[in-house]
Amino acid sequence: MGIGYRVFVRPMIRVQDSEKAHARALLMLRFLSSNPISRSILSLLYRPRKKIPIQCFGQTYQHPFGNAAGLDKRAEGLRGWEAIGLSFIEIGGITEHEQKGNPKPRMFRATPSRALINRMGFNNPGSQKVALKLEQHFGKFGSPSVPLWANLGKSKITPLEDAPNDYAQTMERLWNYCDVFVINVSSPNTPNLRELQHDEALESIIKSCQQVNQNKASSSNLKVKPLLIKIAPDLSDEQLAAVVNTARRAGCDGIIATNTTVERPDNFSKSEAKIFAETGGLSGAPLAKRSTDMIHQIYSMTKGEWPIVGVGGIQTADDAWEKIGAGASLLQAYSGFVFEGAGLTRSIINGLDKKMKEEGYSTLQEAIGFAHQ
């Protein structure tokens, strides 16, 4: 973490409402990245100097680390994320229809545990407005220099049985702009959403998204784009196996493990009891082990043949290395940015580079799944 962040920014954030602090940080990132001089300063301060290239989904990533969904729901900070050196950017969750999300407050920090609880409920401008925003952005600045991922959620007003259309419509509207699509059926904050992780429901969502994918690809003479599924850490072993089998069979190109959990840590300080009693999904350090365990399971189940994106509690290079060892090819974080600031990417990439040298790996590809050997 940068000394500036530790001394000035973090103490200020601590006394602010979590959602407001997040909005201000994003505004600051947008502001600083809108001007060539401050954008260069951002890059100088935060962009990793080391490269750890990795091929995934037929694309080249400069290193394995990007932001997790939820951090930029409205696609506002694209140039900022690029400037601070993320190797890919995930926008959203985006739903077909615009929605306000749950009443505030809906995001809470448990700083001693380095954890967050949120029940945002997919607040977002909806697929039409996000597509328009991307069209304008691409028109003005061109496409981002790193792969742009879109996280697709289900609109609250859409009944579960109409979910395939809701996801497919959003994918259709965003297809021209985004490089990878993520079907999110694992947020705990949209009523009954997680039921969509089950067999037929999941299969029909994937199939309707793949239909859009194929139609758009053939009408624009391009390749189909990678489609991933994002799962909850609260699935049982049997449920996890079923989701993986269904998603692979239906044509998903990989999996993101994991979203937030409805579980709570066993131990926490007295001052955090009120926070952990809030309804919502838990992210951050207490999620790390569960998400890594699931990555291990998926990697074993799929013999390392199906790309896994690891997310959940990554706040240090050690956390990131554990997920690589478990079998993740790419990594993401949300809470880590809240507690560590914009310096997170550089510190993780420097740390991974060091680990690879210590352990004698010349490429990251060789290291993926090392804990299984």
Ligand X SMILES: Cc1cc2nc3c(=O)[nH]c(=O)nc-3n(C[C@H](O)[C@H](O)[C@H](O)COP(=O)(O)O)c2cc1C
In the complex, minimum distance from the CB of residue 88 to ligand X, in angstroms, rounded to a whole number: 13
In the complex, minimum distance from the CB of residue 41 to ligand X, in angstroms, rounded to a whole number: 26
- What contacts 145, CB < 8 A, 6 or more positions away? 82
In the complex, minimum distance from the CB of residue 322 to ligand X, in angstroms, rounded to a whole number: 13
In the complex, minimum distance from the CB of residue 288 to ligand X, in angstroms, rounded to a whole number: 7
What is the number of other CB atoms lying within 10 angstroms of the CB of residue 297? 18
Which is nearer to ligand X, 109 or 225 (by Cβ)?
109
CA distance 319 to 363: 19
Which is nearer to ligand X, 60 or 279 (by Cβ)?
279
Which is nearer to ligand X, 48 or 188 (by Cβ)?
188
Which is nearer to ligand X, 181 or 306 (by Cβ)?
181
Which is nearer to ligand X, 63 or 373 (by Cβ)?
63
Residue 187 annotated among the catalytic residues of the structure: yes
Q: Which of 87, 155, 187, 329 is catalytic?
A: 187
In the complex, minimum distance from the CB of residue 298 to ligand X, in angstroms, rounded to a whole number: 15
Which is nearer to ligand X, 210 or 335 (by Cβ)?
335
Taken in order 323, 329, 332, 336, the sign of the CA dihedral is: positive
Binding residues (CB under 6 A) for ligand X: these are: 68-70, 92-93, 107, 116, 118, 120, 122, 151, 153, 184, 187, 230, 259-260, 283-284, 287, 311-314, 333-336
Q: Which residues are known to be catalytic?
A: 187
